[in-house]
A and B are shown apart, each in its own frame.
Chain A
Amino acid sequence: MTGEIKSESSAKDVATEVIARILAGETHLFHELIRPVERSVFVMLFMLLRNESDAEDAVQETFIKIYRNLHNFRGDSKFSTWVLSIARNEGLGWIRKRSSRPEEPLEPVLDESSGDYTPALLTDWREVPSEALERSELRTCLCRAILNLPPIYRDVVQLRDIDELDVHETAAVLGITEGSVKVRLHRARALLQKQLVPVLKGFAPAAKRSWFGRRV
């Protein structure tokens, strides 16, 4: 490693090269290949299955499938995009299996064109700094707001805002158009803003004025 910043294409080449070595017999390299994506795969499956223990089992099954199908990776997409597509299918398979259990209904299907996407209106906003995430109540609020999004919006938030995939990659994982990704992301962010603004206000640092006011 020479320390230079890797471009996206060279990162893709590295993954392709490592895969070739694994297929040639250096199977231990599979551990290193998947380390950068295992967190994203867990989050995706946790969001789909809403249960840590099921998500963890599904992650293990996903990576075993990926290992056994490694020869099918063509290198025309990024390795992470390919992995997330497989993980998503694995998660949807688990949901289908569960749906035969009456106590766990399938997630409601939402019409993309319906709903209220007007943001929460306010006149002042004090930024909630990232340090506030040290508070578990804030983490819980954010986590719950994301999990409570309708599934089609939750998917794009996860891939675009949490995993930081680009629009093209997100569209590829979800099998939808880039236009749909943008529309869904816009609505998802509006829904999150609307739901979170009243809650987040309580986590913003006190305004300077009131701080000095109290000191007097």
Chain B
Amino acid sequence: MKIDCKHVWQHISAYIDGDVDAVLRAEIDRHLEHCEICSAVMDSTRNVVVLIADERVFEIPAGFSERLHRRLDAVLSESSPGSFSPT
């Protein structure tokens, strides 16, 4: 079985996640060896996935954690978990 470019694009995400079976993976690998376009699409998609996973993309506001735990301190000292009853 020979697969075409569109077929490869359908499986890019699954391929990156290692979620394609061995036969399909081998077919895709064979296609990538000679298809410049699909190789570049695959590499660029993988690059995007790696970059967006980086913690630096979404910056947490300065002092966020301190403010959160200070607020929680107030709640923790006034009630035990599950004992809260709305007034």
Report A's interface with B, CB cutoff 8 A. 22-23, 25, 27-28, 30-31, 35, 38-39, 42-43, 46, 52, 56, 59-60, 63-64, 67-72, 118-125, 127-128, 130, 133-134, 138-139, 142-143, 146, 157, 161-162, 164, 182, 185-186, 189-190, 192-193, 196-197, 200
Q: Residue on A with the closest CB to B50?
A: A130
Find chain B residues with CB under 8 A from A121 CB.
37, 40-41
Chain A CB count within 10 A is highest, among B58, B67, B75, for B58
The smallest beta-carbon distance between A30 and chain B, in angstroms, is 6
A59 vs B60: C-alpha distance when bound (angstroms): 12
A69 vs B81: C-alpha distance when bound (angstroms): 7
Report B's interface with A, CB cutoff 8 A. 9-10, 12-14, 16, 19, 36-37, 39-41, 43-45, 47-61, 64-65, 67-69, 71-72, 75-77, 79-82, 84
Main secondary structure of the interface of A (DSSP, over half): helix
The smallest beta-carbon distance between A139 and chain B, in angstroms, is 5
The smallest beta-carbon distance between B40 and chain A, in angstroms, is 4
Q: Is B44's CB under 8 angstroms from A71's CB?
A: no
Q: Is B41's CB under 8 angstroms from A52's CB?
A: no
Main secondary structure of the interface of B (DSSP, over half): helix
Q: Is A196's CB under 8 angstroms from B48's CB?
A: yes
- Contact partner of B13 (CB less than 8 A), chosen from A72, A124, A186, is A186
Q: A28-B76, A70-B81, A161-B49 are in contact. Are A125 and B57 (CB under 8 A)?
A: no
Q: Is B41's CB under 8 angstroms from A59's CB?
A: no
The smallest beta-carbon distance between B18 and chain A, in angstroms, is 12
The smallest beta-carbon distance between B82 and chain A, in angstroms, is 4
User: Can you report 11 A-B residue pairs in the complex whose CB atoms are below 8 A from each other?
Assistant: A30-B72, A38-B65, A68-B79, A68-B81, A70-B81, A72-B82, A128-B47, A139-B59, A157-B52, A189-B49, A197-B48
A56 vs B71: C-alpha distance when bound (angstroms): 11
Find chain B residues with CB under 8 A from A139 CB.
56-57, 59
List 13 other contacts, CB 8 Å, given A42-B58, A68-B84, A121-B37.
A28-B76, A42-B64, A56-B68, A59-B64, A63-B72, A69-B81, A69-B82, A125-B40, A128-B51, A185-B13, A186-B12, A186-B14, A193-B45
Q: Is A56's CB under 8 angstroms from B61's CB?
A: yes
A46 vs B60: C-alpha distance when bound (angstroms): 10
Find chain B residues with CB under 8 A from A125 CB.
39-40, 43-44, 47
